[in-house]
Chain A
Amino acid sequence: MEDLLFEIQLAMPQVVLGVINGAFYALLSLGLAVIFGMLNVINFAHGAQFTLGAFVAWMLLSWLGVGYWPALILAPLIVGAIGVAMERTMIARLYRIDHLYGLLLTFGCALVIEGLLRNSFGSSGQRYAPPREFAALDLELGDFFLPGYRVWVLIAASTVCLATWLIIEKTKVGSYLRAATERPQLVQAFGINVPLMMTLTYGAGVALAAFAGVLAAPIYSVSPAMGANFIITVFAVVVIGGMGSIAGSIVTGFMLGLIQGITEVFWPEASQTVVFVIMAVVLLTRPAGLFGRA
């Protein structure tokens, strides 16, 4: 019994770290799912926009002295506005042709963003210190210590995921959105400005990615490659969850982070690949994904 308790104590940090990763997977795959549902575009730039969010927060702090809390609102707004511009000038031209072109275009955008950041800031990471007040949230259980900032990340990410789900499933705007996802022409015929909705949806999805980026900035070092490392795993998460449901992408994100954390305890070498193995198993048993509609 003592041994088991000890084992659990040893395992806790990895598992918690996994759940925090899961929070980022959930936020990112949620944004991807919202964008895909409305625009039928897989936003390959999602990782780069996540990075951009972290960098905007860093720039606000080091250049303008704007702190963490304003940045948490400002960075998503700024990056979301860039997203709106991208949608209006480029992505909107591709709705009538094969959806794969949207993937290729946003991949190009990701390269441009990552390259520009590399040119300006180099490949090495920048440090972004979390505000002091999070020390109040520090969790200490015996030998197990969880920094307050990570507690906050879990709270913030869960709240935003829940809020997004509520907006889409329970509000009038959300019902327009769901209707336009199913039958855009019909909704347009009812006098709702569907192209504007698509633009704003893209902006909102991008803002979610940037929000995740600001949350991530104090945990991971702010570097041009931080998003690319995340996004491919998030693609696997999206394939596992299937893009049918908003709730599904949130649940899958958290779940896979947790599984990754547990794997890190028992078989550290496999922790990077376990998500991809799960993806393979899901493809064999439920090709449409756990929550997907075929």
Chain B
Amino acid sequence: MAEGSIATAPSPGAPSVDEEVFFGFTRPQAAAFLALVVIVVASPFVIYPFFLMKLLCFALFACAFNLLIGYVGLLSFGHAAYFGMGAYVSGYAAKEWGVTPEVAILLGGATGALLGIPFGWLAIRRTGIYFAMITLALAQMVYFFCVQAPFTGGEDGIQAIPRRSLFGVFSLDSDFAMYWVVAGVFLGGFLLIHRVVHSPFGQVLKAIRDNEPRAISLGYRTDDYKLMAFVLSAGIAGLAGAVKALAMKIATLTDVLWTMSGEVVLMSLVGGLGTIFGPVAGAAFIVTMQTYLAEFGAWVLVIQGVIFIAAVLAFRRGLVGEVGHLLKVKL
């Protein structure tokens, strides 16, 4: 990989604990994952579940984004399209068709994936900066579509989305009950991405990231791999949006706007691009910041911009990447 490439995973000097012990996790990663599970399970007893749900939805969204930039080396600047459309479709299905939450969530994920097929097919024709601009432009097209399409409710969005009962049995009216669904989807999505990245398929993705011509010369149809990764990423982003729509009971134009695409880039960058836990840490950091600074209005924009600049100039490894570098482990 070229020196200073954006997807450079933190390179610990000859790690002694690199063998994978379970589910593709190395020993330190497994420890970190168990810690994550404990935090996810314990925190609703301490922290306001509504806030936690928001955090986990964005964490999953950031993980989906990170799958592309971290393991395929493609920076998408249009992931809001899949997130936002996932939110709209699941919100609409839950409100207007009266489907149960699990169906609404799956519909949202399917929407993201379906949208990812043509968009990914177009975008993977270029790489690098062009890929970023193309994904951004395509997402803007989705935004304009959502502004005009009647089912999105225009400026008002879809409000008061009912959560109903999981499988028609367990009522999700309370935030505490809904939290477990969000946590389940988050952990499921997190493990899915991790499993994919550490499968033979994931190895090919990393080969493409590091040296695409060589991967082609070895006989891999790299475009197929890139498209599959793109669709998977878009699908999980749609899933995150769908869960968000049910948890927050609202789907609006903000979810499809380009600023949302920028936010997910920021979360992954702050946490650490190409690290497994980075997007989660970054999402936690940014969502917390937004919540506490909400009263300062447009200053949030300025602070986010400053964090962006600082992250690019001073700590490109991100929070988790820096910790991993200090401890000489890959997180």
Contact = CB atoms under 8 A, between A and B. Distances in A.
Contacts of B148: 269
Query: Chain B CB within 10 Å — which of A100, A232, A284, A287 has the most?
Result: A100
Interface of A: 36, 42, 90, 93-94, 96-101, 103-105, 107-116, 118-119, 228, 232-233, 235-236, 238-239, 269, 272-273, 275-277, 279-280, 283-284, 287
A21 B36 CA distance: 51
B312 interface: yes
The 6 closest A-B pairs by CB, nearest first: A108-B308, A111-B305, A115-B301, A97-B4, A112-B305, A115-B302
A111 B261 CA distance: 13
A42 B301 contact: no
* Main SS class of interface, A: helix
A238 B133 contact: yes
B300 interface: yes
Contact of A115 (B122, B130, B305): B305
Interface residues of B, number: 45
Contacts of A96: 3-4
Contacts, number: 129
Contacts of B129: 36, 42, 99-100, 103
B262 A107 contact: yes
Contact of A273 (B4, B6, B132, B144): B144
Contacts of A98: 2, 4-6
A108 B306 contact: yes
B269 interface: yes
Given A104-B312, A115-B305, A233-B140, 9 more contacts: A97-B3, A108-B307, A109-B305, A112-B302, A114-B301, A236-B133, A238-B133, A275-B137, A283-B126
Contact of B316 (A101, A108, A238, A287): A101
A104 B2 contact: no
B141 interface: yes
Contacts of A97: 3-6, 316
Given A98-B4, A100-B132, A105 B126 contact: no
5 contacts: A90-B313, A97-B5, A112-B305, A283-B126, A284-B125
